[in-house]
Amino acid sequence: MPRKIEVDLNKLPQIREDPITGKRVVISAQRGFKMPQKPEEVVAYPPLPEFLESCPFCLGNEELIPKILAETNTARVTPNLKPILMIEEGDIRDSYGFYAQYVVPGVGASEVAIILPKHNTCFSKAPENVTMGVLQAIIERYFDLNKDQRFRWFLAFQNYGFGASMEHPHFQLMAFARKSEPPLLYTIYQNMVDYRVRHGECFFCLAGREEEEQGQKGRLVAVNECFRAFVPFSPSEPFEVRIVPKDHISSFAEQLRNENAAFQFAGILKEVM
């Protein structure tokens, strides 16, 4: 029997905005707090077993996880037991006085895409069929969550090693409602529109072709039939790499519905990692 999710309606997530910088942060009391190891204390990670009896993500421990929302041969998606955002809504502003205008409910969805079949599967070294199965499960959840008119933005990411709360490999899937999404998204969108108006062409299409022409002399990391991967001209993070479709398309999920495109994306993603 799937594990029941207990929701404390007195601890609904919040999106708080700094009145000076405009930066938004998520406050989620549902997640609690876990003190991580200090980096200097982490010498090396011991090898992981193929199965761990106490791990809720391992095959055979289905009673430890909530209901399964999507499943392939190499992945399954479940609700997050410690959600960052929640689908439940509530008016929380009355208790914040002066700051009421800078806080909104943290409405959204928080799910976990569990990588199968083993506890020690390494996503970056797994064969293409594992990568494809994970991508298919994530895409299925994207289109299902997209049916909720409240949700405006979808994010999939993986924590690995130091900072990850679960050893078993998994992705976090999040859908953000309007006013919950990072303001940076609107800045990026507006800059893309402005660039196209000024230059008559999509920035990523132009930059992708330029990087491919420069090849190894420039910032190109990998290229295949459908995608280009390159280091941004002004990266904001160490090891940042952009994977951009060769075709002018606005939705990764729509493109990855095509089996060949999904296979090509899985290949270049593994090559980059």
- Tens of pLDDT, residues 66-81: 899 999 999 999 999 8
pTM of the predicted model over 0.85: no
Question: Residue 159 pLDDT > 80, yes or no?
Answer: no
Average pLDDT, the chain: 85
Inter-CA distances, 244 with 19, 184, 235, 263, 265, Å = 35, 19, 15, 15, 10
Question: What is each CA distance from 233 to 35, 180, 208, 245, 246, in whole angstroms?
Answer: 36, 29, 11, 18, 18
- The pLDDT, as a whole number, for residue 9 is 60
**Which pLDDT value is given to residue 23?**
81
How distant is the alpha carbon of residue 129 from its chain centre? 20
Query: Mean pLDDT throughout 219-240?
Result: 92
% of the chain with per-residue pLDDT over 70? 86
CA dist 199 and 141 (Å) reads: 36
- Backbone dihedral region for residue 106 (phi beyond 0: left; psi -120 to 50: alpha; all else: beta): beta
What mean pLDDT do residues 123-149 have? 91
pLDDT tier for residue 52 given thresholds of 50, 70 and 90: very high
Position 206 pLDDT exceeds 80:
yes
Residue 20: pLDDT above 60?
A: yes
pLDDT tens-digit readout, 246-261: 999 888 888 998 989 9
Residue 99, Cβ neighbours under 10 Å: how many?
12
Average confidence (pLDDT) over 199-222: 91
Half-sphere exposure of 164 (CA within 13 A, CB side): 15
Q: What is the largest CA-CA distance in the chain?
A: 59
221 phi, psi to nearest 5 deg? -105, -45
Position 174 pLDDT exceeds 90: yes
Query: Can you state the angle between helices 203-214 and 184-199, rounded to 10 degrees?
Result: 80
CA distance 256 to 210: 24
Model confidence at 32: pLDDT above 70: no
pLDDT band at 194 (very low <50, low <70, confident <90, very high): very high
pLDDT of 268 = 93
DSSP symbols for 171-238: EEEEEEETTTS-THHHHHHHHHHHHHHHHSS-HHHHHHHHHHHHGGGTTEEEE-SSEEEE--SS-SST
Report the C-alpha gap between 106 and 25 in whole angstroms: 10
- Residue 41 vs residue 233, higher pLDDT: 233
